[in-house]
Amino acid sequence: MRQCTHCGSRFSNDARFCPYDGEPTRDATPRGADAFIGTILAGRYRIESILGEGGMGIVYRAVHVELDKRVAVKMLRADMANDETVAKRFVQEAKALSRIVHAHIVEVFDFGRTEDGLAYFVMEYLEGRSLREALRENDLSAREILRVARAMAEGLGAAHAAGIIHRDLKPDNVQLVQRDDDRCYVKILDFGVAKVAGVSRLTRNGAVFGTPHYMSPEQAQGHPV
């Protein structure tokens, strides 16, 4: 089994490139127990469990041992560490998030590297459900849907003001969390393929990034966005 390093789609073992976005695939054979679970990262983050996996990184639930504070740690996949473009894009995601200060964008607290050189960054821990899950459950009122749309627009506006274009906004990358009496408080996630103003290009000309169902026409055609 192979998996696209960008969109996460899975294919047979003979598929070396994703037919949807042209990115390379990686071995997606199920692994054994994760070596980081139960360890203390950088002397302060105790890794507890895996929250999710993507093409570039693995997200762990962790606790800051001194502050007793729940956090999320996103770490570059070991099998992608030797891919220079993927490694640079991972670091760029952390930098992009650190440049955006807004209530509806996930916050980054820290960045570092493991003893083996794997990059990681630490984010606020969000307990809730994705917008995709909420839409599937079909339990949002019209008023809540309007609030979610407005919050997403405000968060993206802050990103654009900071010179950052997400390029892969979709229901999976929007988390709805409970804040006071609001069960649909928006947090936008995953800036892994974001375009950052003033940063060297990591995308070759004509390359297409994003998820087909949610791309703008110009993005789907490989034009600048």
Cα distance between residue 12 and residue 27, in whole Å = 10
24 has which bridge partners?
Answer: 17
d(C-alpha 158, C-alpha 97), whole Å: 11
| Catalytic option among 168, 180, 181, 190 | 168
Q: What is the DSSP letter of 110?
A: E
Known active-site residue 168: yes
3-state secondary structure of 149: helix
Among 113, 34, 126, 130, CA closest to 71: 126
SS3 category, 50: strand
Could you give the residue numbers annotated as active site? 168
